[in-house]
């Protein structure tokens, strides 16, 4: 195996995972839990939320991550994406169990407010679609990048959903941090796309 593809700095990934778990548990511990299922629902939601953020953000730094970890960026990215999907699946299944209804998986379109309040539902299915592109990347071709942009929509829907009805988001600090994360993600996306377009325009002008 080539040296450039050997794993290195793996401890950083492990540390990030531990910090994310401790942070999530700490936030959930701030609130009163009426049943153990409440804890599962909140931990799954927060871990999935953080996972989507890291997956979307890291997609803007493919080369940097590959150089740093010495492994295929796609591997690192997929680990984070799958972890987010699993966490949110646990969250969704737990909510459905609590409601005693599979309708917890279905988006609601009664009103715009209700759609966004329950925005975690469409966000879950969009995340599933983006995760599946990993299996069909070859068949999809270059369009897989466009499909992966849905991660930004997923995070935006998740943020609005959490702000409106998220139990852990009653705390002002957490609400502010979430909005800052969303703004940072959008800012990085726009900056990267703008810089790429300028570089392409400059190359054509030569």
Task: Give residue 126's pLDDT.
Answer: 92
Cα dihedral 116, 118, 120, 124 in deg (nearest 10): -110
Q: Residue 151 — φ and ψ, nearest 5°?
A: -60, -30
**What pLDDT, on a 0 to 100 scale, did the predictor assign at position 91?**
95
Residue 98 is predicted with a pLDDT of 93
34 lies in a domain? yes
Give dist(CA 46, CA 29) in Å, integer. 12
pTM listed for this prediction = 0.83
* pLDDT number for residue 63: 76
Q: Looking at the 3D structure of the chain, how many domains does it have?
A: 1
Could you give the angle at which helices 36-58 and 73-99 cross, rounded to 10 degrees? 150
Helices (H) and strands (E) in the chain, counts: 10, 0
Which CATH number is 105's domain given?
A: 1.20.120
Tokens 């957490």: give the residue.
Answer: 174
Q: How far apart are CA 190 and CA 136, in angstroms?
A: 27
Residue for token digits 């995340």? 127
Residue 176: inside a domain, yes or no? yes
Asked whether residue 164 is assigned to any structural domain, the reply reads yes
The phi, psi pair for 108, rounded to 5°, reads: -115, 135
The pLDDT assigned to 131 comes to: 78
Tell me, yes or no, whether 52 lies in a domain: yes
Rounded Cα distance between 85 and 188, Å, is 23
For tokens 């778990």, the residue is 21
What are 30-35's contacts with CB under 8 Å, separation 24+?
30/168, 30/171, 31/167, 31/168, 31/170
Residue 109 domain-assigned (yes or no): yes
206 is a domain residue: no
| Alpha-carbon gap, residue 161 to 147, rounded angstroms | 22
139 is a domain residue: yes
Give the residue numbers spanning the domain of 90.
Answer: 3-197
Averages of pLDDT over runs of 10 residues in the chain (206 residues) are 53 73 78 83 91 87 75 72 90 94 93 95 91 69 74 94 90 90 92 79 67
What confidence score (pLDDT) does residue 96 get? Answer: 95
Predicted local confidence at residue 58, as pLDDT: 83
Is residue 205 a part of any domain in this protein? no
């Amino acid at each position: 195996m080539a040296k450039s593809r050997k794993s290195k700095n793996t401890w950083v990934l492990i540390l990030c995972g531990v910090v994310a778990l401790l942070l999530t548990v700490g936030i959930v511990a701030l609130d009163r839990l009426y049943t153990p299922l409440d804890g599962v629902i909140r931990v799954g939601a927060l871990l999935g939320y953080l996972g989507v953020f890291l997956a979307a953000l890291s997609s803007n730094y493919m080369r940097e991550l590959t150089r740093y970890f010495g492994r295929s960026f796609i591997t690192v990215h997929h680990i984070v994406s799958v972890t987010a999907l699993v966490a949110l699946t646990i969250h969704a299944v737990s909510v459905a169990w609590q409601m005693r209804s599979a309708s917890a998986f279905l988006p609601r379109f009664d009103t715009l407010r209700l759609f966004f309040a329950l925005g975690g539902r469409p966000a879950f299915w969009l995340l599933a679609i983006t995760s599946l592109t990993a299996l069909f990347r070859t068949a999809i071709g270059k369009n897989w990048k466009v499909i992966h942009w849905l991660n930004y929509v997923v995070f935006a829907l998740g943020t609005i959903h959490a702000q409106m009805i998220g139990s852990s988001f009653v705390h002002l600090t957490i609400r502010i941090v979430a909005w800052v994360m969303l703004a940072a993600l959008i800012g990085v996306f726009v900056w990267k796309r703008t810089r790429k377009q300028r570089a392409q325009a400059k190359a054509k002008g030569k």
